[in-house]
Chain A
Amino acid sequence: MPGSGRSIVVDPNPDQSSPVTITPYPNGPYLVRGDFVVQDQQGHELPSERRTIALCRCGKSRIRPFCDGTHKLIGFEAPSEAEPWPRG
């Protein structure tokens, strides 16, 4: 498990060997690891050839839902940890 921040563990099948983890990286995308499938609303799988993928978190990628590094050009800032709510 990557140790740079909190991960959301999505584990619909507790018997599977590698539960899916979603990790927000500081000022960057969500990295997704494990036995995941990314699909559109019609259930069509969005192909990706790699074991770990990065999902866009800044909204400005040109290959959404995947990250293309654009967050660096727009000064996107967000922590790895959950932001506190309600704010003090």
Chain B
Amino acid sequence: MAARLIELPPARGPLSEGLFAALEEPSGEGMEVPDAIDSVDPIADEDLQLALYVAYELHYTAIRGVDEGWEWAPSLIGFRAALERPFEAAVAALVEPAAEEELASVGAALQQIVAEDPGPPLSRHMEIEGRLEQMLELVVHRSAYQLKESDPHSWAIPRLSPRPKAALLEVQADEYGGGDPERMHAVLFANTMAALGLDPTYGRYLERLPAVTLATVNLMSGFGLHRRRRGAIVGHLAAFEMTSSIPNRRYGNALRRLGFGREATHFYDEHVEADAVHENIAAWDLAGGLAADEPEVAADILFGARALLQVEARWARHLMDSWERGDSSLCEPVAVPA
């Protein structure tokens, strides 16, 4: 995989238009910051989520023709904050506040929270009857995160005390391939995309991804990039790992049923065993360790876990509802390779 370089996608409304126009100028020019953004449904707001995604991408990748100075330009950060506020409020409205008794054992509370996952049975559908074009769409949606898998959680590293930091590094070292770039999960995902006839170039499908998909990644970028949300990013990672091994086994089975070999399935098969390890470290040593060292962020750990499940459920429902209607779940469908 080469160094990341993405193209600016087409704008979807006044927010993304304003951002993309500004990004074509030198960062010293600055940009206009809206006072307040009026969005009926921020999680599914195409314009808001795309603008926020690209604002965060400045921290992850080069963008063709864009001055790298924009990453920390004060007006860009002000603009991003104006987008984050309604998104954060919309997520908070979906999340049940942590109960007092849950805070006594964050690890046990996380086990209970993921056992009550509100999402629809997407992985079961894929395993049993998902069609090839649905599998391709699923992979394209997930490319928004999985081509930079683990990166949003790595923002938390310098913000943690020694015990949770060591636990996070134990998980991340494995996610990043344990010293072997060929075992890095983002690289395994790129191999899966190539094996399915998709283009594994970072950012290649951005313009096809709907708001609800971008929201799943914006959620973790927001938690990761704000130190005040260190509890939430830790809870997000724990719940992500705790809801990963079983669905990934099903996605691997779906690919085998569709006739694909190891090159396509390896990413999913690897996650079955890897995340069965990671989920325990993440729940008990990382989340539990952080709650022990900083009890004041314990409630935010559980917020991060519940927020993940709610935003993922919204995304999964979008896929299943679109397919139920016979529609593509992408803004524009991908061609099924011959």
A interface residues with partner B (beta carbon < 8 Å): 2-5, 25-29, 31, 48-54, 62-63, 66-70, 72-73
Contact = CB atoms under 8 A, between A and B. Distances in A.
B275 A69 contact: yes
B284 A4 contact: yes
Given A48-B273, A54-B280, 14 more contacts: A2-B167, A4-B107, A5-B284, A49-B178, A50-B273, A50-B274, A51-B174, A52-B174, A67-B276, A67-B277, A68-B273, A69-B245, A69-B272, A72-B114
B178 A51 contact: yes
B249 interface: yes
A31 B108 contact: no
Interface string B175-204: 000100001000000000000000000000
B276 A68 contact: yes
B183 A49 contact: yes
Contact of B280 (A3, A29, A73): A29
A32 B289 CA distance: 19
Contacts of A53: 273, 277
Is chain B's binding surface mostly helix, strand, loop or mixed? Answer: helix
Given A50-B174, A69-B246, A72-B115, A31 B183 contact: no
B285 A4 contact: yes
A68 B284 contact: no
B267 to A, nearest CB: 14
Given A3-B285, A70-B246, A72-B115, A31 B277 contact: yes
A68 B280 contact: no
B279 interface: yes
16 contacts: A3-B285, A4-B107, A4-B289, A5-B284, A27-B111, A31-B281, A50-B174, A51-B173, A51-B174, A53-B273, A66-B273, A67-B273, A67-B277, A68-B272, A69-B275, A72-B242
Given A26-B107, A51-B178, A67-B276, A2 B281 contact: yes
Contact of B245 (A5, A48, A68): A68
A14 B178 CA distance: 26
Question: What are the 5 tightest A-B residue pairs by CB atom distance, in nearest-first order?
Answer: A69-B245, A4-B284, A67-B276, A25-B280, A54-B277
A62 B23 CA distance: 51
Contacts of B274: 50
A73 B274 CA distance: 18
Interface in B192-248: 242, 244-246
Contacts of B285: 2-4
Contacts of B68: none
Interface residues of B, number: 30
Interface in B262-299: 272-277, 279-281, 284-285, 288-289
Contacts of A51: 173-174, 178
A70 B288 CA distance: 22
Nearest to A32: B277
B88 interface: no
A49 B184 CA distance: 12
Contacts of B275: 69
A3 to B, nearest CB: 6
Contacts of B272: 63, 68-69
A5 B281 CA distance: 12
Contacts of A5: 284
A73 B114 CA distance: 11
A31 B234 CA distance: 20
A3 B289 contact: yes
B276 A25 contact: no
Contacts of A25: 280, 284
Most buried by B among A29, A54, A66: A54
Contacts of A68: 245-246, 249, 272-273, 276
